[in-house]
Each structure stands twice: as structure tokens, then as C-alpha cells.
Amino acid sequence: MPRPPARQGAGGLPGPEGYTGPMPERLILLTNDDGLWAPGLAALAQVASRFGRVVTVAPDRNRSAISSALSLHSILRLHALGEDRYACDGTPVDCVLLGVCEVLKRRPDWILSGVNLGFNLGEDVFYSGTVGAAFEGRLQGARAAAFSIHPKGELALAVPWIERFLQRWEAMELPPNRIWNLNFPQDAPKGFRLTGQDSRAYHDIVERRVDPRGTPYFWIGGDAGPTYAKSPGSDAEAVLDGWASATPLRLDLGCPEILARSKDFEATFNG
Ligand code: MN
């Protein structure tokens, strides 16, 4: 793999203090779960290209709500569609793995996922292929972020804020195994809010219908959409109030506050 071409200060940012020579170009792997032809992916590619070389490896169809699924029991195909642009018939996580191991053959600096059409707030981050791909990016050692927008949001209104975020996010280092989960409101954001994860309830989640041959089938989701708790400081509260929400998420789901109760645990389960 040849080294990427050098250029002055990636993304228009100044180099490290006192250094005026060329900086290696930032390598950015881009994916999503809405599929390669989604407008949100094109918007994110355009913004990202101002910060380095963008290589896109994205699913060849909509693979939303597939979380961190990995194709371990089927083959994967990768189709080169043009310079630095690939379609994969796997999941978003497959795309990240093929992007890193087959296309780039090195760790990218950034992995960006989205922009997903529809929020990824509260517990929806567990279902989201957009967020799953960002987590995989972090596991591969890259700085990683997932981007989502209100289902009727205008990408053009979010783009300047995505650019602002990408200009600055290297200045706010997260601890290991954290990613950024960004959500953008329907209208132009009032600004950024640093948020926690809300919780939400779905209604009528499994709908029974009958097909033209009289056999029942089931449709998950219903029409009502989620109700968010909108707890103070949460992603849903911020984004539904018109702010761009930036939520750090962690891969480690352990509960250190429960580990402090190990004596109770052992008395209960071992006693
Ligand atoms: Mn999606």
C-alpha cells in the first residue's frame, strides 16, 4: 500500500505546534446503513472530503436496524464502482471490516457513518446499523462518529454543523472505546449540546396483517413512532428542542456501580 500523498495541513487545520511541513493526508473511511445510494451518504462524503481522502465502502441496499451484525456464515462481494467507492453486499460492520482489511489495508484515521435518515436516539442506538458501524470503526482503532437526522430533516441544514464538528472533534479526545453519536434536528440547529442517552417507548410494535393468499404476516414498528422520555440533558430532549445533539457512547456496557456490591452478590449467590 503506497503512502497517501502528503499535503499541507489536513482539512485546513494548522499542523502541530511549530511544524510547518507537509502533514500526511487524513484517511477517512465512510459507510452507512441506508445504502450506498442514500443522499445522507453523499452529503457526508462531500463534507468529509474537505478533511482528507474519503474512501466509501457502503452496503448495496438498505441495511437499517441491523446493529453490529457480522456475516460469518455467508460470503461477501465487494464491487468497485469508481475511485475510492465500493458497494458491499454485507452489513455496515462488514463494510467497515472490508474497508479496513481489504481496501485500505491500514487503520483509517476517521470512520464516519451516516448521515442516517431518521434519528438514532435513546435505546435505538442498540438497533442502529449506523451506530454499529461507528462502534466497529472504534474497535478498528479509528476515531469514529455516527450521524443521523430527523426523518424529515434537510441535509443541507445539517451539513455546516457536521463540518464544524469535524473541524473540532480532534480537540476533544474521548477515552478508549467511545464514539460520538450525533443527531440533527429538522430545522437549522440552534447549536451543539453535549448529551446523554435518553430512553423511549414504542407502541403497537408488532402488527398482524394478512397477505393476498390469506396467510398472516407480521410487521414490526407500527405507525405511531417512538415516545421519548426527553429526560433532562438527553439526546432526545436536545434534538427535539432544535439543537444538534452530540452523545458520547461507550462500547463497555458494564456497571461499575453494581460491582461495588460484590459482597452482597456473593452472600446471595454463593452463601
Ligand atoms: Mn438507516
Any idea where the domains of the chain sit in the sequence? Answer: 10-198+229-269
CA of 150 to the centre of ligand 1 (A): 12
Q: Computed from CA positions of residues 97, 103, 107, 112, in that sequence, does the dihedral angle turn out positive or negative? A: negative
CA of 9 to the centre of ligand 1 (A): 33
CA of 152 to the centre of ligand 1 (A): 13
CA of 107 to the centre of ligand 1 (A): 25
The pLDDT value recorded for residue 244 is: 98
CATH of 10-198+229-269, one of 3.30.70.260, 3.30.420.40, 1.10.10.1800, 3.40.1210.10: 3.40.1210.10
The pLDDT value recorded for residue 19 is: 57
The pLDDT value recorded for residue 201 is: 82
Q: How many residues does the chain have?
A: 271
CA of 74 to the centre of ligand 1 (A): 22
First-residue to last-residue Cα distance in the chain = 59
The pLDDT value recorded for residue 250 is: 96
CA of 255 to the centre of ligand 1 (A): 29
Long-range contacts of 220-227 (CB under 8 A, 24+ apart): 226/122, 226/124, 226/200, 226/201, 226/202, 227/200, 227/201, 227/202, 227/203
Residues with CB under 5 A from ligand 1 (ion): 33-34, 64, 116
The pTM for the full model equals: 0.90
What is the full per-residue pLDDT of the chain (271 aa) written as tens digits? 444 444 343 344 444 455 566 667 999 999 999 999 999 999 999 999 999 999 999 999 999 999 999 999 999 999 999 999 999 999 999 999 999 999 999 999 999 999 999 999 999 999 999 999 999 999 999 999 999 999 999 999 999 999 999 999 999 999 999 999 999 999 999 999 999 999 988 776 888 999 999 999 998 876 677 899 999 999 999 999 999 999 999 999 999 999 999 999 999 999 8
